[in-house]
Structure 1
């Protein structure tokens, strides 16, 4: 059996190697390293033999970056459909035209510098440049781990040549603006904005919320289902931390009760009602249209005369108001469903100087 062990960094790894005859009669060895176990190597060797016999085998030493990164992305399972679509667009529009035709093993640091320069020359936002950079970097990291290349060319980039990580900029309303907004807001979907500002919920979470996910007795709601642009209603959240329980104030409970009364009345007068148990829905029970959501939000801003911010920044408004009231960042993290408290602090650290003042003053009192 053409499966062989070798040692790397003090650990046993495996590779396969077998001979084949090309159409011109010459013999060549097909070899691939980087497998952590014998079973994994044996399976890969069998697949390589089948591909060779079908004529679809691609020699790792000749495969282009475009061929490899396309296959790698297709086989990647730990991303959402939205992220996959975004990555495919970055690949098609930015990576492949610049370095896609270069053989994977021949991509060098100059090629990467050329790629990064092209992204900035297009005037792309810093965040977009970093996402494209991270996509290519992760691909090469995997290729290095699988020993398809000896060294990751990204490791040779000078620090100044890498896209800089900037703190995301966002806007939010003050408490006075929020109070005014709700005093002039008249809309059947008022509850949507209540949940965004008072509970810090994402749009996908609000539009996927069901009545059965709300516990009126214990004053809590659970984030279990979301509404996604391409997937529709789906059990699951943006991240594992997105699965969470949110405490409801009496104000939010009152707003939910009023909205449920409206939904019940609409259902009685609708000839063909689609019962999805949704809190936020169209008058016939169907999920709201996310395709027209930006226009909907702009109309709300226009009708209420409010200062323009993004709908997602209502969630930032919630976090900002809580932190300005000296609520602990850990509580804010759990409410918003951030994956870590580090993310919360990095995003909102500029809003916490008053917390530092209170901390040093409290220490003064303690040590008097």
Structure 2
């Protein structure tokens, strides 16, 4: 394999590679390289020859990053959830393409991507009001890494230039949760409201919004021997408003033990719900939703969020304003601060590993560590022989 460089115009070089097949027939591949230095052009020529010899050479193509991302989105459409596809599409077309979509894919380098991410942080908002949050840029980086991995698989790139980029520093916001007194006040205030049961399931069982929406009576055991509910699916709503039911976020079902208070409230709720639906001529059954419309039809996840945000009872109360998802955080924080083992808390919350639980709720741990230190100290003191 041979190659040479040829200056086409000031600052622009043609790198010509001579490739011979098994029959000795020569083919030529042309690359354009911009530099004012002939030496740098020769170095690039040598690099390409090395890639050819090692089998890492990638055919030059004029496909742009924007064109490739459109192709990638179409490729992954059958294999990802609709909500995931929406998110990838938004990140690619709204955030990534305006910053680097016109770059030829084969020429995309790590420094170009880093520069685009820096610009996104500084002035990436489409309305021109400033930069994107580090959290959004972090997701842009993850999406680009995933997309360019496919480019490597398809042999459009020799390596993934996004992997070596520097991720933005994402500062985790301190979560706001209710203490026990505030939780009790919340439940008392909401008892007459249809919002009471979904809030109860979030703050006393740690269920996610989608898990509450998807919960059916067949998955709830309120007898003397079994007092639990099983989380087997979750509701997901797309930007188009469609709702689908899928497996829980961790990818597996989980069982949550129910306290006496939750059992009592759910029994009363089931009786009220049955009376309500029977008056409409509807016979509730095992497939009925625990949290539903008056006619028994399923709620939409966003409807629950809107009801929580705009509920007049909560607005008139002195309680701090928190997100609906923070009710789940409330349950987790109260478990850990009460001395519940993190492994048990992780199982109730449906985390894929105990590490996620410890990472999310590390702010609760200092008090637990102090309590543990005192308990160990008391045990040692009892074991020590009296002095003298």
- Taking structure 2 as the reference length, the TM-score comes to 0.73
Over 3 Å counting, the alpha-carbon distance change for 1:249 and 1:111 in structure 2 is same
**CA displacement, residues 128-187 of structure 1 (integer Å, 9 cap, x when unaligned):** 121111111222234335543223323544xxx421143343211111111111222221
Match of 1:188 among 194, 197, 201: 194
Contact 1:224–1:236 (Cα < 8 Å) also in 2 = yes
Over 3 Å counting, the alpha-carbon distance change for 1:316 and 1:63 in structure 2 is same
Matched, 1:72 2:77: no
Over 3 Å counting, the alpha-carbon distance change for 1:229 and 1:60 in structure 2 is farther
- Aligned match of 2:214: 208
5+ residue gaps, structure 1, are 1-18, 20-26, 30-58
- Find the residue that maps to 1:135 and give its secondary structure: helix
- Aligned match of 1:39: none
- Aligned match of 1:83: 84
- Aligned match of 2:250: 239
Match of 1:162 among 167, 184, 190: 167
**How far does residue 296 in structure 1 lie from its aligned partner after superposition?**
1.0
Contact 2:346–2:357 (Cα < 8 Å) also in 1 = yes
Matched, 1:281 2:292: yes
Contact 1:208–1:233 (Cα < 8 Å) also in 2 = no
**How far does residue 347 in structure 1 lie from its aligned partner after superposition?**
0.7
Q: Distance in 2 between matches of 1:352 and 1:305?
A: 28
Matched, 1:298 2:317: no
Contact 1:273–1:285 (Cα < 8 Å) also in 2 = no
Q: Distance in 1 between matches of 2:195 and 2:91?
A: 35
- Find the residue that maps to 2:162 and give its secondary structure: helix
- Aligned match of 1:112: 113
Q: Distance in 1 between matches of 2:320 and 2:309?
A: 11
Contact 2:209–2:301 (Cα < 8 Å) also in 1 = no
Over 3 Å counting, the alpha-carbon distance change for 1:322 and 1:78 in structure 2 is farther
5+ residue gaps, structure 2, are 1-20, 22-26, 30-58, 126-130
Q: Distance in 1 between matches of 2:164 and 2:221?
A: 55
- Aligned match of 1:317: 330
Over 3 Å counting, the alpha-carbon distance change for 1:155 and 1:132 in structure 2 is closer
- Find the residue that maps to 1:281 and give its secondary structure: coil
Bigger Cα displacement from structure 2, 161-170 vs 279-288: 161-170
Q: Distance in 2 between matches of 1:60 and 1:271?
A: 68
**CA displacement, residues 64-122 of structure 1 (integer Å, 9 cap, x when unaligned):** 22222222233225532112101101111111112112121100123212320232123
Bigger Cα displacement from structure 2, 226-235 vs 91-100: 226-235
Aligned length: 310
Bigger Cα displacement from structure 2, 163-172 vs 254-263: 163-172
Contact 2:206–2:329 (Cα < 8 Å) also in 1 = yes
Q: Distance in 1 between matches of 2:350 and 2:193?
A: 27
Give the RMSD, CA atoms, in angstroms: 2.5
**How far does residue 290 in structure 1 lie from its aligned partner after superposition?**
3.2
**CA displacement, residues 211-259 of structure 1 (integer Å, 9 cap, x when unaligned):** 0001122001111132221352524222314x10110111101010010
Over 3 Å counting, the alpha-carbon distance change for 1:177 and 1:60 in structure 2 is farther
**CA displacement, residues 23-43 of structure 1 (integer Å, 9 cap, x when unaligned):** xxxx999xxxxxxxxxxxxxx
- Find the residue that maps to 2:83 and give its secondary structure: helix
- Taking structure 1 as the reference length, the TM-score comes to 0.77
- Find the residue that maps to 2:361 and give its secondary structure: helix
**How far does residue 124 in structure 1 lie from its aligned partner after superposition?**
2.0
**CA displacement, residues 322-367 of structure 1 (integer Å, 9 cap, x when unaligned):** 1111211111111111111111111111111122123333443455
Over 3 Å counting, the alpha-carbon distance change for 1:156 and 1:271 in structure 2 is closer
Q: Distance in 2 between matches of 1:274 and 1:82?
A: 30
Q: Where do 1:171-186 residues align within 5 Å?
A: 171-185=176-190, 186=192
In terms of Rg, which structure is larger?
2
- Find the residue that maps to 1:132 and give its secondary structure: helix
Over 3 Å counting, the alpha-carbon distance change for 1:211 and 1:295 in structure 2 is same
Contact 1:201–1:315 (Cα < 8 Å) also in 2 = yes
